Amino acid sequence: MGPDEQERGEMAKSELEELEYINRSHVNGFLFTNENRAAIVYLLYNQDEKKMQTENMAFHLGISHRTALYHLEILEQCGFVEVREFRRHGLVPMRSVWGLNMDNGTIIEDAFNKIIDNYGREKLNVLVTKRRRNR
């Protein structure tokens, strides 16, 4: 490997490290200061297959389907969740089941630990059973 190739390799490594830092900064920044987003990640993380239907998430959190989608879309843009299954509504495919993006496993693990540090398991357990308790 010549000096130019080595320099490019080091630059690419540096850029990847910077990107990982930026992704991790989402964990420490605005992303989990919202209880709904924190509760969604906590809820998904505690599912056996790390996935759940949007309607069930909304039910557990005591929020509307639209509010759940809003927070899921933010989490998707940051690489924390992904759509796992679609269902058809007429000709239109609709996002039905969301799950944690396990391609970002270490970032998800860090996020989960940060959420527990910020909120505590007890409060998170209350958040993810909010609707069930009110019935």
DSSP string, 20-62: HHHHHHHHHTGGGSSHHHHHHHHHHHTSTTSEEEHHHHHHHHT
Say whether pLDDT at 69 is over 70: yes
Q: Is 103 helix (H, G, I), strand (E, B) or coil?
A: helix
What is the predicted pLDDT for the residue at 90?
75
Name the pTM for this structure: 0.72
Distance CA 61, CA 22 (A): 29
pLDDT in tens, 72-90: 999 998 888 998 877 777 7
> Identity (one letter) of the amino acid at 89?
H
| Domains in the chain: ranges and CATH | 3-133 (1.10.10.10)
CB of 94 closer than 8 Å to CB of 53: no
pLDDT in tens, 41-68: 999 999 989 999 998 999 999 999 999 9
What is the predicted pLDDT for the residue at 29?
63
